[in-house]
Amino acid sequence: MHITVDPDAAWARLRGSRWNPPGRADTGARRKTYAAALEQTEQMFKAAEAVGPATRPLQLFYGLSQAGRAIAAAAWSLKGTDWHLVTHGIKTSGFENPFPDIEIRTDPPGTHGSFVRVSEVLDSPVWELDAVRLEEVWDVLPPNLGDPLTDRDRLTPLLAAIGGGTHEHTLLTAAVCDIPDRVIDAGTREALAEYLLSYPAAAQHDSYVRTGRLGPDGPPDYTRYPHGGGELRVNWLMPEGSATADERREHLLGMTRGYAGQRYFLPVITPMNREMHPLMAWWSVLYALSMLARYEPASWVSHTNVDNSRHAVSIERLLERALTHLPDLIADAIAEVSG
């Protein structure tokens, strides 16, 4: 999957916002925190560029954590002192497990931990007692589509490419992309329906393109990709009936999450009650990697050794993408909570 980002432009957006901070960060302590936190974020990311995988997760995570403080300072939904963040609000365990099975948990909803508060303002879930595995959150990130950690069945983002022309219509039509081979190979309506249970918004479709031999009762008519996987044209009923192209696009925005200018159906991971915001998926992954690097350095070095670890190259690629993708996601998140 090719995702186009411009980190220099994103940093320019962030730096340009500091003279007149958005949302509730326009005055007082919130304004000072906004500016200082973004300066620390940028410096942490610059420091991360200069080091290798042995320490890069530390600078990246703490840079993102400081960006979270800027997001909270700008958020309209946080009043009084609720914007002031204390503690991480997220924890890891199971470092003795295989790398994909490292466990991630969060503090309870309504607490002041950074992860919890920023998740709340971005309408992203938290979870407490039941851990999620690193692999599950890793797979939520669109750029990780080609970098699986294991051979298990995966729940990965489904790119939504809107179609249907410019005329008014009662249906929103979009190509749902990157459906995995296991679903396409099964070739049945039942297999597709079972798979889409993890993507509630996509599962609420009205219809989709079917193979012609059985008419409206035929199986899904997928378009396969040469490199594996494929896509399906899917229709959803517009809630108010006939709608313009702009109204249909707006409806798609409400069903999907944004990432680098594209829209995705993201999976809901058990025990979460809705899909994660991509920024919080990055936060979860980088927190786990930073804690592993900080507290289990020998284990971390072994995971990043390309001569001995099947995960080393995937980790390197993730950390490189963090440098380029996160500035854009941070700028978008600030706009989202302060608009």
Amino acid at 237: L
Residue 186 to residue 200: CA distance in whole angstroms: 21
Q: Say if residues 24 and 74 touch (Cβ distance below 8 Å).
A: yes
Q: Token pair of 82, please?
A: 């609720």
Hey, how many other C-beta atoms are within 10 angstroms of the C-beta on 282?
A: 25
- Any idea how long the chain is? 339
Q: What are phi and psi of 303, to 5 degrees?
A: -70, -25
Amino acid at 130: D
Q: Say if residues 130 and 103 touch (Cβ distance below 8 Å).
A: no
Rounding to the nearest 10 degrees, give the CA dihedral for residues 326, 328, 329, 335: 140
Helix, strand, coil % (nearest 5) of the chain? 45, 15, 40
Residue 153 to residue 287: CA distance in whole angstroms: 24
∠ Cα 161 164 166 (to 5°): 115
pLDDT (tens digit per residue) in 219-243:
999 999 999 999 999 999 999 899 9
Helix or strand run (H / E) with residue 325: helix 312-338
Hey, how many other C-beta atoms are within 10 angstroms of the C-beta on 15?
A: 13
Which residue is it, tokens 């300072």? 73
- In eight-state DSSP terms, residue 267 is P
∠ Cα 271 276 280 (to 5°): 115
Hey, how many other C-beta atoms are within 10 angstroms of the C-beta on 180?
A: 17
Residue 151 to residue 154: CA distance in whole angstroms: 8
Residue 7 to residue 14: CA distance in whole angstroms: 10
Residue 49 to residue 38: CA distance in whole angstroms: 17
Residue 108 to residue 95: CA distance in whole angstroms: 22
Q: Tens digit of pLDDT per residue, the chain (339 long)?
A: 578 999 999 999 999 999 999 999 999 999 999 999 999 999 999 999 999 999 999 999 999 999 999 999 999 999 999 999 999 999 999 999 999 999 999 999 999 999 999 999 999 999 988 999 999 999 999 999 999 999 999 999 999 998 766 788 899 999 999 999 999 999 999 999 999 999 999 999 999 999 876 667 789 999 999 999 999 999 999 998 999 999 999 999 999 999 999 999 999 999 999 999 999 999 999 999 999 999 999 999 999 999 999 999 999 999 999 999 999 999 999 999 998
Q: Say if residues 91 and 99 touch (Cβ distance below 8 Å).
A: no
- The strand pairing partners of 160, in sequence order, are 176
Burial 161-170 (b: 16+ CB within 10 A, else e): ebebeeeebe
Residue 331 to residue 302: CA distance in whole angstroms: 34
